[in-house]
Structure 1
């Protein structure tokens, strides 16, 4: 019951934005960037993340970071996090400077809900080499949630982190922070994770996802979130619940793409070719599916018809624009 209330509150207060069939958006979440120490889980996927961001930037995407970008409950000094991952923040700044970076806060970066904290830690940065301060993400306004509304059909995609209503990570987040910072942090360094987290607790994770589904069925809106670290692309189009997965899997990261009015779940991972050359490859895991296929406001027959029309109409355009630069790099390596 509380989850339904919190999701509805977030929806009512969400920032409204528009998209259409020419929009290119990538949703990624749960990078949990740390301070570069042995307990920083982001270290193992940092190169994947930076490479993926560079590809999305070059291909004209807007980057939605859907919460828990930083692990601020475990590492309280944002300055240390920025210094540990300079390449990552340089890539993020490129998006921001082109007005193509949208930041949503989650439970592990809840401090971004405080404008004073944001101004102090994200508006400026310090260049240790040249010993000067410079404008970083000056003027950024992190949001709890965003509603993406299609300009022509009015279909909505509700985007938020997904911790809303998960009591330990929402209304009692402060006590969770204390337990992580002063207890679980030390176990984390040797590979032991908090069993109460939805990431490790399957029963809790499924309960959270059931609550998402109930809200979707009641309000007839597609929902895109993170939080559970379990990627999701709906088989049942009547319950359009999408989860971006996370940026700290052992050997890959995941993302949800919205391009040409089509949704696609992808994975970026390291591969080795026949010549023993290590490279990064983007793989499609689910989709692409027309966004209209998940519009549960309309009768099923109408939705299926509109989806089929979209597939046929955009086939050539999608094939032309689908290629990423890493495919060219792979071919160069094979030559």
Structure 2
């Protein structure tokens, strides 16, 4: 409901970042970092995600988190999440200190739409070992959307979480937060699916994706989103709709990479080698293709 208006509003308020042929960017979405309990859907992929982040940090990538990085619907206290995945946050802090970390908010961390929540949760943390408050992401901004401005083609890439206009997860999100915190958080541990989630509801997911396509047709914008948890890379002659997928699949995480002015859909997966030793491997699923193929001029 009101998807076109909500996406247009996010575009108007978006933070603008320049990119060029030297830019190297990794987009991850829907990490859903939790408290490392049985209800934490990210916990089983923490090592895969951490290994991938190490690769991107060492290779000079900029990290862009496309919403729902932290599971703030299920957990009222961010410090519980930060403590449960402290190694991940220390690596993200290293990206931020190097001016290579950008986050936008989604429906599950919509609290970051309020500046006082950003300041209270993200600026600093209490270091349990040193017994003092230390900087985490001081002065960080968490916008609703980011526009990447290509300095060489003057094209744009609109990056937004994608919950905008999804009635249950946008207009009545406080109700869904309440249900997630006190109901679905416990029920999905034993196999029940939340029918409000587009990741678990095929009809809902397809409706949202049709709205993305409608927005692209109307506004002539290349779009990178998350929210549905289904990775997407357009085929020949399809509209430039990209979806990062998510980081809570049972055995892998997926994301979007931009390098050398080209865009790819990638996954990181645990798989055995010929000797049966488990390894974390990166694989390109689709692409790479020049980003100029997908831009409107």
TM-score for the superposition, normalised by structure 1? 0.87
Answer yes or no: is the 8 Å Cα contact 1:106–1:162 preserved in 2. Answer: yes
Which deviates the most, 269-278 or 50-59?
A: 269-278
Q: From the two aligned structures, give the one with the greater helix fraction.
A: 1
- Give 1:188 shift: 2.0
Q: How does 1:231-270 map to 2 (within 5 A)?
A: 231-270=231-270
Q: Which residue of 1 aligns with 2:62?
A: 62
Q: Secondary structure at the match of 2:190?
A: coil
Answer yes or no: is the 8 Å Cα contact 2:33–2:81 preserved in 1. Answer: yes
Answer yes or no: is the 8 Å Cα contact 2:155–2:296 preserved in 1. Answer: no
Cα distance in 2 between the residues matched to 1:6 and 1:54: 35
Q: How does 1:9-158 map to 2 (within 5 A)?
A: 9-158=9-158
For the pair 1:279 / 2:279, whether they are aligned, the reply is yes
Answer yes or no: is the 8 Å Cα contact 1:2–1:165 preserved in 2. Answer: yes
- Give 1:272 shift: 1.1
Q: Secondary structure at the match of 1:41?
A: coil
- Give 1:207 shift: 0.3
Cα distance in 1 between the residues matched to 2:93 and 2:69: 14
- Give 1:237 shift: 4.0
Cα distance in 1 between the residues matched to 2:248 and 2:86: 18
- Give 1:296 shift: 3.5
TM-score for the superposition, normalised by structure 2? 0.98
Cα distance in 1 between the residues matched to 2:168 and 2:28: 23
- Give 1:185 shift: 1.6
Larger radius of gyration: 1
- The answer for unaligned runs of 5 or more in structure 2 is none
Distance 1:236 1:209, change over 3 A: farther
Q: Secondary structure at the match of 1:167?
A: coil
Cα distance in 2 between the residues matched to 1:291 and 1:281: 25
Cα distance in 1 between the residues matched to 2:282 and 2:23: 20
- Give 1:183 shift: 1.5
Size of the aligned set, in residue pairs, is: 297
- Give 1:238 shift: 4.4
Q: Which ranges of 4 or more aligned residues in structure 1 deviate by more than 4 Å? A: none
Q: Secondary structure at the match of 1:70?
A: coil
- The answer for unaligned runs of 5 or more in structure 1 is 298-335
Q: Which residue of 2 aligns with 1:324?
A: none
